[in-house]
């Protein structure tokens, strides 16, 4: 059977698309996941950790609040509406959000688990993608959506120490790794007795780093680690931007504006916006301070080091089962060493290029930097003779901006993709999406009028900006990519 839409991977974003696609009569869809069941960051289900987005950022509500797959529908099904109402919690715990997604995934008939996709091929004769799952006939797709997720970022200083032997783990494995500090041991002595952790270092000051540090701070008695250290390259432990107007960077309005910017402008802009999407919440930082204050009550010692502006240049395992870190404090230009029993790398995640796409590598158009080109509707630019559509979810940071990993934009992105697919398959879109979603005008205001553009220094004349320049917020196709010159050159972090 030919499916109109096949999804690869079932994290929250493709699960959102699966929920919406299931509601469309006449649309044949299936979503394939290698894991045996839905799982979302199990290593970070820290007691009390909360989402950084409100509960309305569920799978469907910001597009279709009447959907049977909304968070409120989940509460009703679990007989939890009144408890939730009285709890007055705008932000869910991470555990409840994961349970909500699991609830939807187990009930949606178009979600298949234990279905690892090994390769995607293009059948030119049938004009279809063939999606290969071992032991099954290939799934045939008119349109394909990749939601394969991201992978942990491991700094080069630790690249040779994450093989499982050294006491280094990524924060995503904080609760599940054999090296988890919750095992409270760093090996055994000569008599087989466990050696307690004396010193734990957390590297990275985003939300996961703050949560891990806070969890370790709150542990008491036999569960406590005597000395904790928090190291970050950031010059300050600044909180995430959470002002009402600042949050408008996570609207479709800003996504459209960002996508229309020239590629070099986009590439330079994203790193400067780290406080919009990489920092810790002010509430978590306040809780860290409160825990430190409690530790010093009645003359107690905090026994912590919080070290901003510091980069770990290299790391090596010592003969005593410990780690030695070679660090540099950038502002004071001082280099020094640290010894620790365990390192937790809260260094974030990045999009990955899955090997399953290797068979269609030559079909994909790229920008001047060699990255995949992605249209505003999240469709990857393919060779003109490929008539099927390839879409991506949470892999378009460089083309769509800081809202890419944000759950608050997940439902809208799924609706944009679904509208594009249904327009081709059914001849119509299925969701009415708002034209304006922000009070902020990110580009040229409607009340503006043309003025002469200042000429570059040394030029002979001034004049209005020519069509297609950055002054109009447009960008042109590079010669290296496929597609029309009216599409902006997209960027993807896949190499």
pLDDT score for 297? 87
Question: Sign of torsion, CA 234 237 243 247?
Answer: positive
Give the pLDDT of residue 53: 94
Q: pLDDT of 167-178, one tens digit each?
A: 999 999 999 998
Residue 295 has a pLDDT of 87
Mean pLDDT (the chain, rounded): 88
* pLDDT of residue 459 exceeding 80: no
Q: What pLDDT does residue 194 have?
A: 64
Confidence band for 456, pLDDT divided at 50, 70 and 90: low
The side-by-side arrangement of strands in the sheet containing 2-3 is: 2-3, 139-141, 128-132, 119-123
Q: What are phi and psi of 25, to 5 degrees?
A: -60, 135
Q: Are 105 and 39 in contact (CB under 8 A)?
A: no
| Average pLDDT, integer, range 330-339 | 94
pLDDT band at 427 (very low <50, low <70, confident <90, very high): very high
Phi, psi of 225 (to 5 degrees): -95, 125
Residue 468: the pLDDT is 33
Q: Enter the pTM of the model.
A: 0.88
Give residue for tokens 């510091």.
310
Report how far residue 144's alpha carbon sits from residue 142's, in angstroms, rounded to the nearest whole number.
7
pLDDT at 222: 66
- What values do phi and psi take at 208, rounded to 5? -65, -40
Residue identified by tokens 């609830």 is 103
pLDDT at residue number 188: 60
Residue 477: its pLDDT value, please?
Answer: 25
Structural domain boundaries in the chain: 2-151+349-426, 154-240+279-345
326-330 contacts, C-beta under 8 A, 24 or more apart:
326/157, 327/231, 330/233
What is residue 189's predicted lDDT score, i.e. its pLDDT? 59
Categorize the per-residue pLDDT at 487 as very low, low, confident or very high, splitting at 50, 70 and 90.
very low
Rounded CA-CA distance 408/52 in Å is: 10
The average pLDDT across 136-142 equals 97
Is the distance from CB of 187 to CB of 195 less than 8 angstroms?
yes
What's the pLDDT tens digit per position in 378-419? 999 999 999 999 999 999 999 999 999 999 999 999 999 999
Q: Domain 154-240+279-345 belongs to what architecture? A: 3-Layer(bba) Sandwich (3.50)
Q: What percent of the chain has pLDDT over 70?
A: 89
Question: CA 409, CA 247: separation in Å to the nearest integer?
Answer: 12
Give the pLDDT band (50/70/90) at residue 298: confident
Please give the share of the chain, as a percent, with pLDDT higher than 90.
74
Query: Is it the case that residue 465 has pLDDT exceeding 50?
Result: no
Contact of 26 with 426, CB cutoff 8 Å: yes
Q: Residue 307: beta bridge partners?
A: 231
- The DSSP bridge partners found for residue 8 are 32, 146
| pLDDT at residue 191 greater than cutoff 80 | no
The whole-angstrom separation of Cα 131 and Cα 6 is 8
Identify the burial level of 70 via C-beta atoms within 10 angstroms of its C-beta, where 0-12 means exposed, 13-18 middle and 19 or more buried.
buried
Secondary structure in 3-state letters for the chain = CEECEEEECCCHHHHHHHHHHHCCCCCCEEEECCCCCCCCCHHHCCCCCECCCCCCCCCCCCCCCCCCCCHHHHHHHCCCHHHHHHHCCCCCEHHHHHHHHHHHHHHCCCEECCCCCCEEEEECCCCEEEEECCCCCCEEECEEEECCCEEECCCHHHHHHCCCCCCEEEHHHCCCCCCCHHHCCCCECCCCCECCCCEEEEECCCHHHHHHHHHHHHCCHHHCCCEEEEECCCCCCCECCCCCCHHHHHCHHHHHHHHCCCHHHHHHHHHHCHHHHCCECHHHHHHHHHHHHHHCHHHCCCCEEEECCEEEEEEEECCCCCEEEEEEECCCCEEEEEEECEEEECCCEEECCCHHHHHHHHHECECCCCCECECCCCEECECCCCCCEEEECCCCHHHHCCCCCCHHHHHHHHHHHHHHHHHHHCCCCCCCCCCCCCCCCCCCCCCCCCCCECCCCCCCCCECCCCCCHHHCCCCCCCCCCCCCCCCCCCCCCC
Q: Are 198 and 185 in contact (CB under 8 A)?
A: no
Domain formed by 2-151+349-426, architecture: 3-Layer(bba) Sandwich (3.50)
Q: Span 8-24, mean pLDDT?
A: 97
* Angstrom distance (rounded) from CA 473 to CA 467: 10
User: What pLDDT is attached to residue 190?
Assistant: 63
Task: Give the model confidence (pLDDT) of 68-93 as tens digits.
Answer: 999 999 999 999 999 999 999 999 99
**Locus of tokens 């892999």:** 395
Over residues 252-258, mean pLDDT: 96
């Amino acid at each position: 059977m030919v499916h109109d839409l096949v999804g690869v991977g079932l994290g929250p974003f493709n699960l959102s698309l699966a929920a919406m696609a299931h509601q469309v009569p006449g649309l044949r869809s299936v979503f394939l996941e290698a894991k045996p069941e839905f799982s979302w960051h199990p290593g970070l289900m820290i007691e009390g950790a909360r989402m950084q987005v409100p509960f309305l950022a569920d799978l469907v509500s910001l597009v279709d609040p009447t959907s049977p797959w909304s968070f409120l529908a989940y509460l009703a099904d679990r007989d939890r509406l009144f408890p939730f109402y009285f709890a007055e919690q705008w932000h869910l715990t991470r555990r409840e959000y994961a349970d909500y997604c699991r609830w939807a995934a187990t009930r949606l008939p178009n979600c298949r688990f234990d279905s690892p996709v090994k390769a995607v091929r293009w059948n030119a004769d049938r004009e279809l993608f063939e999606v290969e799952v071992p032991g099954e006939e290939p799934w045939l797709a008119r349109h394909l959506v990749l939601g394969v997720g991201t992978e942990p970022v491991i700094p080069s200083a630790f690249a040779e120490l994450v093989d499982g032997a050294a006491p280094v783990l990524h924060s995503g494995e904080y609760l599940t790794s054999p090296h988890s500090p919750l095992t409270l041991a760093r090996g055994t002595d000569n008599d087989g007795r466990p050696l307690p952790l004396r010193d734990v270092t957390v590297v990275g000051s985003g939300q996961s780093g703050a949560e891990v540090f806070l969890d370790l701070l709150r542990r008491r008695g036999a569960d406590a680690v005597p000395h904790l250290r928090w190291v970050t390259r950031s010059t300050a432990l600044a909180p995430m931007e959470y002002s009402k107007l600042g949050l408008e960077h996570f609207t479709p309005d800003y996504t459209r504006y960002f996508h229309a910017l020239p590629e070099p402008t986009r590439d330079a802009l994203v790193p400067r916006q780290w406080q919009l999407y990489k920092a810790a919440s002010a509430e978590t930082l306040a809780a860290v301070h409160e825990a430190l204050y409690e530790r010093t009550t009645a003359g107690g010692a905090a026994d912590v080091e919080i070290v901003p502006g510091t980069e770990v240049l290299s790391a090596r395992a010592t003969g005593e089962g410990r780690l030695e870190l070679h660090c540099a404090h950038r502002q004071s230009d001082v280099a020094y060493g640290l010894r620790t029993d365990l390192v937790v790398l809260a260094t974030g995640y990045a999009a990955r290029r899955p090997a399953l796409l290797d068979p269609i590598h030559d079909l994909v158009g790229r920008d001047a930097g060699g990255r995949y080109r992605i249209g505003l509707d999240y469709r990857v630019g393919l060779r003109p003779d490929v008539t099927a559509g390839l879409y991506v979810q949470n892999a378009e940071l460089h083309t769509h901006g800081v809202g890419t990993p944000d759950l608050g934009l997940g439902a809208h992105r799924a609706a944009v993709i679904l509208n594009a697919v249904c327009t081709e398959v059914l001849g119509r879109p299925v969701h009415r999406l708002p034209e304006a979603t922000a009070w902020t005008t990110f580009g040229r205001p409607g009340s503006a009028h043309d003025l002469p553009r200042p000429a570059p220094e040394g030029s002979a004349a001034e004049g209005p900006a020519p069509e297609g320049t950055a002054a109009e917020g447009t960008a042109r196709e590079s010669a290296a990519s496929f597609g029309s010159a009216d599409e902006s050159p997209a960027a993807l972090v896949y190499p």
